Amino acid sequence: MASVWESLVSVHQRIVQNGDKRTDPWLLVFSPVPVALIFLVYLGVIWAGPRLMKHREPVDLRVVLIGYNFSMVLLSAYMFHEFLVASWLSNYSLLCQPVDYSSSPLAMRMARVCWWFFFSKVIELSDTLFFILRKKNGQLTFLHVYHHGTMIFNWWAGVKYVAGGQSFFIGLVNTFVHIVMYSYYGLAAIGPHMQKYLWWKRYLTSLQLLQFLLFLLHTGYNLFAECDFPDSMNAVVFGYCITLIILFSNFYYQSYFNRKKQK
């Protein structure tokens, strides 16, 4: 046991010592332990929540959901603006962009919005809690839990090691998609009378799939091109996007083709 603990301590030391010194002082960044604890609490809530709610009435969260979803729209719009402006002013390349590890104003601006993007993924774990409180347990699919649970680790690593560079492309596209997505959820939360205006749900899923295809092409290109950006990060994103494309494609098929056949 002592040797196992020593190995874990050694791995932890390597992880914390090799990070971006600019972002180390920021909330939840220095060590992977806080994010791991958040993930374990998240899994605990998923396990215990439905059991605790089993004999209770669903909680009416209409006002909370309206406020939450439109707040996420505003946060996503802010991050989209920051990713766009910081990359534009820095003359970022879409094909190959190394990380600027300097403390220049633009480099720090990009690093800060990367942190906000990571932290937004922590906030988005609330989506799962709201499903549980409203007894929408059918929404607690493998896709939902996998996507929410893994994104906090992916972007913790992004802020810890590559806060900028090629990472900006994922943040830029994903924040745009989330502006659309949380707008949909916010409108849906207003009430059933809004459903006639929400015919575009199918296209929202298509937009989500399109973003993963863009990420796959973007990182795939950089895996085989000469670019001063870690191949390990590109490889992780490439593999992760493949899993999301498979899962979202299955969701799309089950929701819009299989259900139509059953009708």
- Could you read off the pLDDT tens digit of each residue along the chain, which spans 263 residues? 668 888 888 889 999 999 999 999 999 999 999 999 999 999 999 999 999 999 999 999 999 999 999 999 999 999 999 999 999 999 999 999 999 999 999 999 999 999 999 999 999 999 999 999 999 999 999 999 999 999 999 999 999 999 999 999 999 999 999 999 999 999 999 999 998 889 998 899 999 999 999 999 999 999 988 899 999 999 999 999 999 999 999 999 888 876 655 55
Show Cβ contacts of residue 118 under 8 Å, excluding neighbours closer than 6 positions. Answer: 28, 29, 152, 155, 156, 158, 159
CB of 151 closer than 8 Å to CB of 121: yes
Give domain limits for the chain: 60-262
Indicate the angle between helix axes 167-190 and 105-123, nearest 10 degrees.
40
pTM of the model: 0.95
Residues constituting the chain: 263
pLDDT recorded at residue 230: 93
Catalytic residues: 147
The CA distance from 233 to 123, in Å, is: 23
Show Cβ contacts of residue 245 under 8 Å, excluding neighbours closer than 6 positions. Answer: 209, 212, 213, 216
pLDDT recorded at residue 124: 98
pLDDT recorded at residue 256: 82
Show Cβ contacts of residue 185 under 8 Å, excluding neighbours closer than 6 positions. Answer: 65, 69
The CA distance from 216 to 185, in Å, is: 26
Q: What is the 3-state secondary structure (H, E, C) of 171-191?
A: HHHHHHHHHHHHHHHHHHHHC
The CA distance from 230 to 71, in Å, is: 34
